[in-house]
Amino acid sequence: MLDKTKRGWWKSAVFYQIYPKSFQDSDGDGLGDLKGILRRLDYLEKLGVDGIWLSPVYASPQVDNGYDISDYRSIWPPFGTMADMEELIAEAKKRGISIIMDLVLNHTSDQHFWFREALKGKDNPYHGYYIWRTGTPDAPPNDMTAVFGGSMWTYVPALGEYYFHQFAPEQPDLNWDDPRVRRELYDMIRFWVDKGVEGFRLDVIDSIAKEPDQKITSRGPHLHEYIRELSREAFREEGLVTVGEAWSADVAEAGRYSDPSGRELSMVFQFEHTFADCANGDKWAAVPLSLPTLKRCMERWQRGLAGQGWNSLFWDNHDLPRIVSRWGDEGAYRVESAKMLAIALHGMQGTPYIFQGEELGMTNIRLPIEEYEDLETRNRYAEELARGTPAEQALSAIYARSRDNARTVMQWSGEENAGFTTGKPWFALNPNYRQINAEAALADPDSVFYHYQALIALRKRYPVFRDGDFTLLYPDDERLFAYTRETEEEALLIACNFSRDPLPFALPEKFRGAKPLLGRDGEVLGPYEGRLYYQKRARP
Ligand code: GLC
């Protein structure tokens, strides 16, 4: 178990993300819940993770699956009670697992008390908690389009005003320029710290300091000032881990967020690498992966933050398609490619995050359009059709990129409903659950699960995972992703075949005699094979 009072403990940690609606149901209503998570803590302990990033479990109308919070201090009843939450925190802690709560600080639900009050009139004390501009029904203040489609402005006839929302109309943006809003949020965070929560994931944190009149959403002029204040006021304990979601972060910006001397955040989620298979930076415009682009991107981040800030490492989350389907092989090489992708990621410097089911090699789903739940997916499809895109083409982008790929229910067993619920699951089940499930994985010593378990354990055993310098090998090779990590005492060599073709592979001179810690040895890397070599080095 890691000593979590130690500064920077999270540099040796591995986190696991739970999307609660789809993880484990305990009461047969078809929705995952806190008691369900409690029941699976032993599974997570076995995997070896040090913390759970819990996607939002707060009271919410669920327009965006909990990323629209109507009360930050209570639990959405179908997920359970505050007592369940307290029990989860305590039981997880006993197993060395920290609970990392998801903080949505950029916006609330339109059902939040503050917004309902704000709607009552311009002189209501809560009016200023949100962002308003006077206008007429057909002339929004500007033409900014929301992330989930439509305008960023919604008109309230009774007030003669528009309110600002970067996401859905049901997710009004909070006005961070109002010090009362900031105070409320800090107090709320302290409420959770007092309950024993050991860290936070900060939803779209780069968007809090928006300047709608200048059409600035992310990286507004006051952003870092607000984050420093937040950190000072709310994240007082040395041991708290904080990870900000920052789609707009480049390496320099991520350095600013995560350089300990700046006293902002432990690390950020950046997304540059997730665009290595997108045309024109558009996530919906799927093109084949350019491995050299991905490698150069990783190299830039690895080298750019070394010794200054800290990287988060992830392939999957609740907003992204499944990595095996994306950059691996869903078919004959599913297991091999899932393992290879895990090595490629976990060998790097940073804190890895595993998304539920990734440790089983779960795959994407293809559904009839009416069965998609995600509002972004549904809006996107409607917009594409309105633009004249043929339905088939619109659907194929959704198969590749919909957030619902990640949100199918967790595959626990080959039984009815994958062991997720005794009722009717709230959302689709991937039909491959009969083959791909936790029960089968636990019974097979060569499973993807045990491979992740081994990677997590290695990270704890060898300091080179945390400290080693990163060097990219063969940058232009279109099939091989290889790199080294080196300290004076230890070295790692990671070699990953991102293709179906067998690749000749010879150990570089410096690594003669190195042994694979994971994977086979040999002169050929098989289809989608990944290896991790280790070498102890004599001190010079
Ligand atoms: C983040 C979340 C996403 C959510 C959005 C709005 O990007 O990860 O799921 O829809 O913020 O809160």
Residue of 193, 233, 226, 235 lying closest to 207 (CA atoms): 226
- Residue-averaged pLDDT of the chain: 97
Q: Which residues are marked as active site?
A: 203, 245
Mean pLDDT of 314-335: 98
Question: Which pLDDT score, from 0 to 100, does residue 7 have?
Answer: 86
Classify the phi-psi angles of 528: left when phi > 0, otherwise alpha if psi is within -120 to 50, otherwise beta.
left
Residue that the structure tokens 């990590």 belong to: 485
351, 313 in Cβ contact below 8 A? yes
**Which atom of ligand 1 sits closest to the CA of residue 67?**
12
Tokens of 152: 């960023």
Is residue 67 lining ligand 1, measured as CB closer than 6 Å? yes
Residue that the structure tokens 């990671």 belong to: 494
Residue that the structure tokens 């009149």 belong to: 213
Give the whole-angstrom CA distance, residue 79 versus residue 498: 40
Per-residue pLDDT for 6 more than 90? no
CA of 483 to the centre of ligand 1 (A): 32
267, 312 in Cβ contact below 8 A? yes
Mean pLDDT of 212-223: 98
Give the whole-angstrom CA distance, residue 258 versus residue 429: 38
CA of 27 to the centre of ligand 1 (A): 27
Compute how many other C-beta atoms are within 10 angstroms of the C-beta atom of residue 176.
23
Give the whole-angstrom CA distance, residue 522 versus residue 524: 6
Mean pLDDT of 181-193: 98
Is residue 68 lining ligand 1, measured as CB closer than 6 Å? no
42 burial level (CB within 10 Å; 0-12, 13-18, 19+)? exposed
Beta bridge pairs of residue 99: 52
Tokens of 322: 């499944």
Question: What is the per-residue burial (b if ≥16 Cβ within 10 Å, else e) of 298-321?
Answer: bbebbeebeebbbbbbbbbbbbbb
Is residue 319 lining ligand 1, measured as CB closer than 6 Å? yes
Beta bridge pairs of residue 71: 59
Q: How confident is the model at residue 460 (pLDDT cuts 50, 70, 90)?
A: very high
Side-chain-side CA neighbours of 197 within 13 Å: the count stands at 23
- Residue type present at position 442: L
Compute the residue count for the chain.
540
CA of 204 to the centre of ligand 1 (A): 7
CA of 55 to the centre of ligand 1 (A): 10
Domain boundaries, the chain: 9-107+179-368+412-455, 113-164, 466-536
Is residue 115 lining ligand 1, measured as CB closer than 6 Å? no
Is residue 202 lining ligand 1, measured as CB closer than 6 Å? no
Per-residue pLDDT for 16 more than 70? yes
Give the whole-angstrom CA distance, residue 292 versus residue 212: 37
Pairing of strands 15-18, 351-355: parallel
Per-residue pLDDT for 82 more than 80? yes
DSSP for 248-299, written as a single string: T--HHHHHHHH-GGG-S-SEEE--GGGGTTBGGG-TTSB----HHHHHHHHH
- What Å distances lie between residue 247 and 40, 254, 504, CA to CA? 31, 10, 37
Determine which residue's CA is closest to atom 12 belonging to ligand 1. 67
Is residue 103 lining ligand 1, measured as CB closer than 6 Å? no
Helix, strand or coil for residue 335? helix
Task: Give the contacts of 237 (CB within 8 A, at least 6 positions apart).
Answer: 193
- What Å distances lie between residue 361 and 45, 63, 333, 511, CA to CA? 19, 29, 11, 30
Domain 9-107+179-368+412-455: assigned CATH number? 3.20.20.80
Q: What are phi and psi for residue 352, nearest 5 degrees?
A: -75, 145
Give the whole-angstrom CA distance, residue 247 versus residue 320: 13
Is residue 277 lining ligand 1, measured as CB closer than 6 Å? no
**Which atom of ligand 1 sits closest to the CA of residue 68?**
12
Among 35-44, 220-229, 504-513, whose mean pLDDT is lowest? 504-513
With the most atoms of ligand 1 within 8 angstroms of its CB, the residue from 204, 314, 376, 401 to mutate is 204
**Which atom of ligand 1 sits closest to the CA of residue 104?**
12
- What Å distances lie between residue 390 and 214, 283, 340, 384, 538, CA to CA? 36, 18, 36, 8, 63
Task: Give the contacts of 517 (CB within 8 A, at least 6 positions apart).
Answer: 458, 532, 533, 534
CATH class belonging to 113-164: alpha beta
Determine which residue's CA is closest to atom 4 belonging to ligand 1. 67
CA of 485 to the centre of ligand 1 (A): 33
CA of 147 to the centre of ligand 1 (A): 10
Domains 113-164 and 466-536 share a fold: no
Side-chain-side CA neighbours of 371 within 13 Å: the count stands at 15
pLDDT tens for 491-512 read: 999 999 999 999 999 999 999 9
Give the whole-angstrom CA distance, residue 237 versus residue 7: 10
CA of 272 to the centre of ligand 1 (A): 17
Residue that the structure tokens 């991905």 belong to: 294
Task: Give the contacts of 9 (CB within 8 A, at least 6 positions apart).
Answer: 2, 3, 239, 241
Is residue 64 lining ligand 1, measured as CB closer than 6 Å? yes
Tokens of 462: 């060898």
Percent of the chain exceeding pLDDT 70 equals 100
Is residue 204 lining ligand 1, measured as CB closer than 6 Å? yes
Beta strands in 118-215 (DSSP E): 132-134, 153-156, 161-164, 199-202
Farthest-apart Cα atoms in the chain, separation: 76
464 burial level (CB within 10 Å; 0-12, 13-18, 19+)? buried
Is residue 167 lining ligand 1, measured as CB closer than 6 Å? yes
Is residue 243 lining ligand 1, measured as CB closer than 6 Å? no
Per-residue pLDDT for 540 more than 70? no
Distance of CA 519 to the CA centre of its chain: 27
Question: Which pLDDT score, from 0 to 100, does residue 377 have?
Answer: 98
CATH homologous superfamily of 466-536 equals Golgi alpha-mannosidase II (2.60.40.1180)
Give the whole-angstrom CA distance, residue 94 versus residue 21: 24
Mean pLDDT of 312-340: 98
Determine which residue's CA is closest to atom 5 belonging to ligand 1. 67
Helix, strand or coil for residue 324? helix
**Which atom of ligand 1 sits closest to the CA of residue 106?**
12
Give the whole-angstrom CA distance, residue 402 versus residue 540: 52
Give the whole-angstrom CA distance, residue 83 versus residue 164: 35
Give the whole-angstrom CA distance, residue 70 versus residue 112: 4
Residue that the structure tokens 């998304």 belong to: 355
Q: Provide the 8-state DSSP code for 540.
A: -
